[in-house]
Amino acid sequence: MDIIRSTRNPRLQRVRSLTRTAARRDAGVFAIEGEDLVDAALRAGCVFEDLLVREETPSPQGAGLTPAVVQGDVLDAVSALGSGSRQIGVVRIDSLPQAPAALTGLGLALCGVGDPGNVGTLLRSAAAFDADVVVLGAPAADPTAPKAIRAAMGATFTVPTLAAADVANAYPDVRLVALDGHGDTDVAEVDFSGPVLLALGAEREGLPASVRKRADVICRIPQSARAESLNVAAAGAIALALAFRSRGDG
């Protein structure tokens, strides 16, 4: 079996290009790194367009293609991880789970959350607390960005996302619960039964006016005066956990 020994190899150059949002959008694919993420994508039934494996490393089963074997230091050179990777996969975006046309359970909406680490962490929380969809209101970070993929820890492959120009209109027929540091209601007192969309705003800009206007309730997470505010990922995890318990799921 031939071993790739140069970073100039087209397959490696393609992986490197996928760190750019435009390249992922144009090609319809994104890269994932590490055996755990590759295994998670395979279990979820994602479609792989390419798979690169470090030499002398076992190849994963079920990808439906022959992996390229890459010299160790060469694979490290294209890795986005400081420790390097043993496996890098290229996954089709259209093989990710599709957002439901109608929301019947709990949805999470992110209004302009631009940090990919926060988006990935919130995807992970959405998986943990059984959200049906994560709505990404512009200008939200790309959930297939490398930092978002790493933070999501496999949730990218199980939780659908939906891009929306205006979160308020993403699922117009369901109740909208908005979370804000100055909300009138304690989030622990909110009724999360039935189809509900829980909206979070970006840390600096907060909730857009359209969401505030349509919200059935604007709630807050009580906190001490020792901190000005919660990180949006932390706030989202707390609210999702309370909603999960309120719905009788936890």
Helix segments in 21-168, DSSP class H:
21-27, 35-43, 72-78, 116-128, 146-152
Instruction: Decide if 61 is inside a domain.
Output: yes
- Kindly state whether residues 147 and 179 are assigned to the same domain: yes
38, 70, 95 — which closes off a domain? 95
- Kindly state whether residues 86 and 121 are assigned to the same domain: no
What's the pLDDT tens digit per position in 164-218?
Answer: 999 999 999 999 999 998 888 999 999 999 999 999 998 777 899 999 999 999 9
- Kindly state whether residues 72 and 166 are assigned to the same domain: no
- In this prediction, residue 250 carries a pLDDT of 54
Closest CA to 200 of 183, 188, 184: 183
Instruction: For residue 191, give the CATH number of its domain.
Output: 3.40.1280.10
- Kindly state whether residues 88 and 125 are assigned to the same domain: no
What's the pLDDT tens digit per position in 110-161?
Answer: 999 999 999 999 999 999 999 999 999 988 999 999 999 999 999 999 999 9
What's the pLDDT tens digit per position in 189-200?
Answer: 999 999 999 999
- Kindly state whether residues 136 and 202 are assigned to the same domain: yes
Count of domains observed in the chain? 2
Instruction: Decide if 100 is inside a domain.
Output: no
Please state the pTM of the whole predicted model.
Answer: 0.93
Q: What is the residue range of 154's domain?
A: 106-246
Rounded to a whole number of angstroms, the distance between the first and last alpha carbons of the chain is: 51
